[in-house]
Amino acid sequence: MPAEPTPPADDNPLTSFRYGNVVAPDKAFFDSFQRRFAVMERELPPASDSRQAALTSVLGVTHTEFQNRRGVSEDDRARFAEILHRAYTGRGMEDPAAFLESLPAADLEVVRRTHGLVEPIQPRSLSREGAYNLLLPDGYMVDFNHDGLSDVGAAKAGVFPPVDAPAEVRDAWLKATEHMSETEMMVYGMNLSLGLSSTAQPSAQEPAPANTTASYRSLIDTMLQRNEEFRAFLAPGQYERDRAFYGQLQELLRIADRASA
């Protein structure tokens, strides 16, 4: 029987990197960002090597990992941190589109490069969700309408588990994928994201809400059922791998249910 997942209390995208671990920002995130930024500003001189290293503490380990993969410059990282500081201290998150519109063109370009967007940012055309997500570092995202997808600028991003998934679902996913390659996690995450968006509620033909555990119990049951139905058409070994993975997720959620009962 799989062990009940017990992630460290301080395990979050600011302090550790885990592929696919994207969470919604809470007050603790904003407080932590501001505290770390204030320390950097107070104790480290501009353009120093120490200050550049401190950006990882401010923006987070996950942000640093993805910025390295995208080849984002140190100057852009520092400027992005300053932009977020202004947004968080100046009530910019109350109307993020308006805040983005107030930025000089050069700063908008920093935001665009940071998020790897192809097209220039047009703040007036963005949803609140799309603008809000542009003002968060990698590892953090919001999904205001609970549809399992997040607007990031004008683009849409799907992550699994969705950012507003219950904690027990996120813990089960992180435990079940602990030793997977990023490619395997991407494949299973995409399959589950598609499954969640097509799983209808009993009372209406609408996608199941991404913020209730019941949606994931139903989703995993469906994935196991489909695995049985299409067994004859799967590549050698795929049936066994999928049954083991989805079965582990199912059992981990059962353990969480018993623990909370």
Give the long-range contacts of residues 210-213, CB within 8 A, separation 24 or more: 210/143, 210/146, 210/147, 210/148, 210/162, 210/164, 210/165, 211/146, 211/162, 211/164, 211/165, 211/166, 212/166, 213/166, 213/168, 213/169, 213/253, 213/256
Read off the pTM: 0.83
Report the half-sphere exposure of 161 (CA within 13 A, side-chain side): 28
Cα 22 from Cα 211, distance rounded (Å):
14
Q: How many Å apart are CA 208 and CA 116, to the nearest integer? A: 30
Q: 3-class DSSP state for residue 86?
A: helix
Do 207 and 147 contact (CB within 8 A), yes or no? yes
Tokens (6 digits) for 177: 């994928």
**Tokens (6 digits) for 121:** 């940012």
- Position 194 scores a pLDDT of 84
Give, for all 261 residues of the chain, the pLDDT tens digit: 333 333 334 578 999 888 888 999 999 999 999 999 999 988 876 666 677 778 999 999 999 999 999 999 989 999 999 999 999 999 999 999 999 999 999 999 999 999 999 999 999 999 999 999 999 999 999 998 887 778 899 888 878 898 888 989 999 999 999 889 999 999 999 899 888 876 544 444 566 788 889 999 999 999 999 999 999 999 999 999 999 999 999 999 999 888 876
**Alpha carbon 115 to its chain's center:** 13
Across the strands, what pairs with 152? 155
DSSP 23: B
CB 152 within 8 A of CB 130: yes
CA pair distance 168, 220, nearest whole angstrom: 14
